[in-house]
Structures are given as structure tokens and as C-alpha cells.
Amino acid sequence: MTNYSPILRSRAAELRGLKELTDQTKGKIFPIIELTRSRRTSKNPAGDIVKSVEAVCEILGEQPFIADLTSLESQQNAEFDQLLSEDAGFSAWTSFALNSLPAQCIPVVHLLEPFELAPFQIQVGELNKKFPLLAIRVPTNYADYAVLIGALQFVFPDPSKICLILDAGYVSQKAVSGAHARLSEMLQVVDGVKFHSKTIAASSFPNSVVSAGGGDDQGEFDLTEVLLWDDLRRRYADLDYGDYAGVHPMDFTGTVTNWVPRVDVMLDSKFYYHRYRRSDGGYIKSAQEAYKDPRYIPLACWAEENIKLAAAGTPAGRSPSFWISNRVNFHLSRQTLRVVG
């Protein structure tokens, strides 16, 4: 069976989209969770990461998931300075994993660039005290990939104990061919190796739909992550599908502008949107146009119910965070059906 491994940050908007999946859909995914700082409150002023772990476990229960630490500075706190420290073979991270991650979790082994074997071995040895499976997440721009793969045979006598993730990050419409070439090159190096799982992941969702070429009131984009996987899986066996759950994978940079209410509709290999300023109808008008759009394909999920409610004039939420959750839920529901069935 092909796995679907969406990458989700443990921030509120993305976790709500995950939480509102049907139990059947939720049980079919093999998520990669990027742990972030938790929501700061009077009782949790630092935004402790362990609270994020608790929030994830409350949603997933005993379901296995891969755990990583987010690289987004906007979602970090002071704990990350320690947990991402390479001192003593990332001892702060391995200690956190052993003490705070559940047994069904699959922690990521952190990489240094250039690759260093000793701290890698130390991490694996420590993490294996509790976790039978470990994950290795490699960005496509990691220069020492071949060295890393060559070292695995010395550290992992059994490659079936490894979940390998090749992560292309943000892949715009214009960058598909370059990402395809690099992923193909990386997959060729491990062709025939029997890992526990082998996943490619990417995201086409732009930071700004308008800046990326969409119209002010509506637009459509290809899901480049789907296009990449659909082609590469024909050439490389046992290739699982990963994405960023319909979320832009990088931190926001640039000028902050006023949010224009927008409703996104996630399809199998595309997404389209309608957006209207509050003075022009806001989320209600956006949902009405999105729902009556001839491209709309019904899908029984929480997100569709929210679009119907908004189109009827009674939106369940009017914040950007709510509609990000809606997009995440729609995308996860659609891709689970497409990939897993």
C-alpha cells in the first residue's frame, strides 16, 4: 500500500485541519509532524514544545507519526537553540525524544552539513534505545547526500528500519523540471534499497496567490507536488507521496499587507480560489463563487460543510486561521482519497 505522508506543523491552524478529518481518513495517513512552540498562555508563557507533542497525541492517539523540529524561526522559541544544538551528538534532541515523544513515534535523525558520521551514529544509538524506526529527512539541496547514503550501511545494518524523506520544499510552477531532475538523481542513488518507507515531499502552495500569478478575484494553480510524484513513481518502486498539506513551507518574508478573505478549493492535481474584500462580500461571496464554480468537485468532509455554510451566509469562521484550517482539511481529505483510496 502506498503511504500518504503530509508534513504538518503543530500550530493551531494546521492541527485543526487534521483534527477535523473523519476517523477513517485520519487513520489512513502517515503524517510527518514538525513540532513548533505551543500557544503561549499565562500558564505556558514560553510556549513549551512538549505542549505541542501533547496536542498532536490528543489528535492522533496511538497512530504512528514521524516527529521533526520546525526550521521556521517564527514558530520557534528558546528551546530550539538547545534542541537543534549539535553538542554531544544532538544530545538535547535525543533526550527530549526519549523523555517526551510517545513510543509509536518515529523521530528524525538530524543532519549536519557537511555530513559528520560520529554525531549521526551517536544520535541513532541513543534514539534506538526507545524507537525501533527512525526517519531521515533530506532536503534536495543537501550537498552531502551521496556521502550520507554511503554511511547508512555502517549505521543501519537493516535499512528497513529507516523512513527516508526527500524534501524539495517549495516548488513553484517554473521550478518543476529542476526539482524533478534532482529528486530523480537522489532516488537513483537508493534505487533497490528496501527502506521501511521512501517518500518524496514538496509544496506548490505560494506565499501569495496574487504575487505567484493568480488573479485578484480568482485563480488556479497546478499542484506541482502531485505532478512530481505521479511521474517519479512510475520509475521508482515503492515511492510514497508527501506534501505540505496545502501550506506554503517557508516563513513569510516581504511587506505585510491586509488579508483579503479567500476560499481555496483543493482538487486532485490543482487548486483554485475566489477572494473578495470585506466590502465586496468577503468570505460569504468567496464561498458562493467557489461552490458554484464548474470546477468544484464535491467531497464529504468538514471543509466542504464550511464552504456550504459560508455560501449560505453563515460562515463558521471569519479569520484567516480558520480558512487555512479549512484548506488543510480539504487537501488532506482529497489527497488521502487519491493516494490511499
How many domains does one find in the chain? 1
Domain assignment present for 339: no
Mention every residue, 6+ apart, whose C-beta is less than 8 A from residue 31: 5, 6, 7, 8, 18, 60, 65, 66
171 inside domain: yes
* Residue 53 in grid coordinates: 507533542
The predicted structure's pLDDT at residue 78 = 86
Pairwise CA distance, residues 15 & 9, whole Å:
7
Residue 308 covered by a domain: no
Q: Which domain holds residue 62?
A: 4-255
Higher pLDDT, 241 or 74: 241
113 in a domain, yes or no? yes
Under the banding of pLDDT at 50, 70 and 90, the label for residue 47 is confident
In a domain, 35, yes or no: yes
pTM (predicted TM-score): 0.96
DSSP for 164-184 reads: EEEEEEE--GGGHHHHHHHHH
38 or 128: whose pLDDT is higher? 128
Residue 11 confidence (pLDDT): 94
| Residue 78, Cβ density class (10 Å: 0-12 exposed, 13-18 middle, ≥19 buried) | exposed
**Segment holding 273, helix H or strand E:** strand 270-275
pLDDT for 252? 67
pLDDT of 46 > 80? The answer is: no
- Give Dmax over CA atoms of the chain in angstroms: 63
Are the beta carbons of 16 and 23 closer than 8 angstroms? no
**Mean pLDDT within 252-278:** 87
Q: Letter for the amino acid at 61?
A: G
pLDDT at 257: 61
- List alpha helices for the chain, DSSP H: 12-19, 23-26, 49-60, 79-83, 87-100, 117-127, 145-155, 176-189, 224-232, 282-292, 302-311, 320-339
Q: Which domain CATH number covers 21?
A: 3.20.20
Query: pLDDT tens-digit profile of 308-330?
Result: 999 999 999 999 999 999 999 99
323 touches 260 (CB < 8 A): no
Alpha-carbon dihedral sign for residues 18, 24, 29, 30:
positive
Instruction: Give bridge partners of residue 271 from the DSSP assignment.
Output: 221, 266
Residue 315 within any structural domain of the chain: no
**24 domain residue, yes or no:** yes
**Is pLDDT of 254 > 60?**
no
CB 37 within 8 Å of CB 49: yes
Give domain status of residue 320, yes or no. Answer: no
Q: What is the mean pLDDT of residues 79-90?
A: 92
pLDDT per residue as tens digits for the range 200-221: 999 999 999 999 999 999 999 9
Integer Cα distance of 222 and 183 in angstroms: 19
